Amino acid sequence: MRYLIGSDKYHVMGNWNGIWKAQAPHKARHLLWRLCRGCLPTRSRLLERRVECTLNCPMCDEEIEDELHIFFRCALARDSWSAAGLSAVLHNATYQQTNAMDRIFAVCSNESSDIVGRVAMLLWCIWQNRNDKLWNENVQMRRQIGRHVFDAWNDWYSVHKLQSNNVSGTTEADLVRWEKPALDWVKCNVDDAFVLDLEGPRWDCVFAIIMVTSWLV
């Protein structure tokens, strides 16, 4: 196992930290990881693995479906980038590499974690819309996709920042700490459990009363 993980054969060079630091839900970051590892089952990938299928994009039916097409070049995808407010990233000359993996790594290396997160959320929504069309014959309009990306990312970001602020704002005074009782006090430890067995449910309770004359801290 150690040899397998460390083998150059399976190592892909790129800004992986930029993916995992993206401000986006884990499902969106995971999609970027799968894309950059070549694990997304696009039709061109399926053919590489000897799965017989049609090669045309299920969204536009005009070009071969690979990662670059479905996320960057398909008309539906390009309009979704614009509707999500990310057209400047899509058309940036810095991100015109010939494969999707290099484009993602370039975005991760040059954009803020917020922008990378929005891009990740957009690609996740494009992929979900593609699957919904493929399996359920249900497809969202490009403006719907872009608007959903905008709203979903902002909602997630607001909650994420609120949770982070609550954690960082916790002071030492807010933490509940154990304090040793005064001498000659009786300490009573209590634990209970609700158990469901063959004889029916029962409630177990344990009391431990300890009398000490000194405490070791």
Interval 86-140: pLDDT, tens: 999 999 999 999 999 999 999 999 999 999 999 999 999 999 999 999 999 998 9
pTM of this structure: 0.72
- Is 191 inside any structural domain? no
- Is 71 inside any structural domain? yes
Left if phi > 0, otherwise alpha if psi is -120 to 50, otherwise beta: which for 173?
A: alpha
For 133, the domain range is 2-168
* CB within 8 Å of 171: residues ≥ 6 apart: none
- Is 212 inside any structural domain? no
Half-sphere exposure of 193 (CA within 13 A, CB side): 4
Report the number of distinct structural domains present in the chain.
1
Which helix or strand (DSSP H or E) is residue 139 part of? none
22, 154 Cβ separation under 8 angstroms: no
Between the alpha carbon of residue 63 and those of residues 54, 176, 201, the distances in Å are 11, 61, 62
Provide the pLDDT for residue 60: 94
- Is 198 inside any structural domain? no
Provide the pLDDT for residue 176: 46
Provide the pLDDT for residue 50: 94
Residues of the chain under the 50 pLDDT cut: 1-6, 170-176, 196, 198
- Is 151 inside any structural domain? yes
Provide the pLDDT for residue 186: 66
Provide the pLDDT for residue 191: 62
What is the DSSP track for 56-106? B-TTTSSSB--HHIIIIISHHHHHHHHHTT-HHHHT-GGG--SSHHHHHHH
- Is 177 inside any structural domain? no
- Is 187 inside any structural domain? no
- Is 214 inside any structural domain? no
Fill in the DSSP letter of residue 172: G
How many angstroms separate the CA atoms of 176 and 160, rounded?
24
